[in-house]
Structure 1
């Protein structure tokens, strides 16, 4: 049942083009009774492999700002590893509610990005030109650590947080923000997953079922994306993120 559920979820993830870490955590904990620390470990560890191909593809297509991505990604490693170790000190009930809250906040940011982009950039106009020099390392170090901590502590990819950070603070256009975000998430998920593994939280059987099921499902689901109207895709992008947070808040 777990493998079949992950296969179906992978198809939905591939279909609408989201990372799916939040809904994966919700399914494992609420649906299958997996301990939340184990669910976070599985979600982050799986993300390493699901993000790798996407990051490589974006890099090959030239959709990545390597220097900015490297600064945020490397500083994010510190934040993610610290977040994973802090998470292990938090009791499961409290961590469940905190993870649900972060997932809901991520859904809100995703809604603003997808449906209210004009409002967003009117009130938070992106910087003109890319940050360089000392400002890049200063702001990049802070932003990377914060986003890494969120991802490591609560098991999500933090894509909504990272993409908005790249666009508004670092002046990166949306297409490059998506590609650079994938580059940033990769080392963050590696460090966060390592933090949980070192604390003995990863269940290998659950991890394999999740990874294989979602990978196969995402491959199949991606082939169907062009068949759906754009408004449908936008709705499910936000709804999937929100449903994971709501499930954690009210049913965990």
Structure 2
């Protein structure tokens, strides 16, 4: 079987898993996509750790464009989009996502791998031990923009939608949880669009990219993941109503820790 075919078929399977997890737990797929795609590209496309990380992250962000549009529209219909919050947060997110993609494109692949692994462990710890608290004051437009900038930068560095970072931050500033989730859904789309565009520009005519790449975005992987994840996300949402999501989150967090350790040791 040709390496391109192996990668595409593997990404179809990866999309199934990503969609189910997104539907059940409301998490972005980047936490799973980046390490798995890195492994596939190293073993079947001949890439190195130095070049594979920005490609895996950029490709992960590109898949969120499609899932993010559906999620944002659904929350808009439900009335969960608070325009002032989305406006100020979105402005910061756009700037942060562009900067994050540029930083990821210009630092060493080994350092980017370690940064990703550390941030994944932090998110996993939050999933297991985190408790939702609130501040005594509401966020100003300036604070919302700063929160958005930080979320956009970190999310673009990791190739994730940012919901795991943005929702707790907004709830901390006494924003209704439903509005916070709706804002995170719309913001994930912004992160994906601006982050992907920045990665495409940074990787344009970059040496060492596999065939069928658009900048740092590897199109066959994007197509494979999106093809299945858009269907399984709905299935995951229904399953999430029937299973104990707290146990699932704990299991996923443990898996993420193992993935992070593997990335520290080496993904090649």
Sort the TM-score into its range (normalised by shorter chain). 0.7 to 0.9
SS at match of 1:228: coil
SS at match of 2:28: coil
Specify the alignment match of 2:191 in structure 1.
Answer: 188
Superposition deviation, residue 175 in structure 1: 2.4
TM-score scaled by length of structure 1: 0.85
Specify the alignment match of 1:155 in structure 2.
Answer: 159
2:66 pairs with 1:61: no
Specify the alignment match of 1:140 in structure 2.
Answer: 144
Is contact 1:87–1:153 with CA below 8 Å preserved after alignment?
Answer: yes
Please give the alpha-carbon distance, in whole angstroms, between the structure 1 residues aligned to 2:237 and 2:181: 17
Q: Which has the higher contact order (CA 8 A, sep 6+)?
A: 1
Superposition deviation, residue 102 in structure 1: 1.2
2:17 pairs with 1:8: yes
Please give the alpha-carbon distance, in whole angstroms, between the structure 2 residues aligned to 1:211 and 1:243: 25
* 1:99-156 deviation per Cα after TM superposition (whole angstroms, max 9, x unaligned): 111111122223334xxx2xx52xxx3335x43xxxx222122211111111112212
Superposition deviation, residue 51 in structure 1: 1.5
> Aligned residues, how many?
238
Specify the alignment match of 2:6 in structure 1.
Answer: none
Please give the alpha-carbon distance, in whole angstroms, between the structure 2 residues aligned to 1:209 and 1:166: 33
2:20 pairs with 1:20: no
* 1:4-42 deviation per Cα after TM superposition (whole angstroms, max 9, x unaligned): 233234234323332121111111113553611111111
Unpaired segments ≥5 residues, structure 2: 1-8, 204-214
TM-score scaled by length of structure 2: 0.80
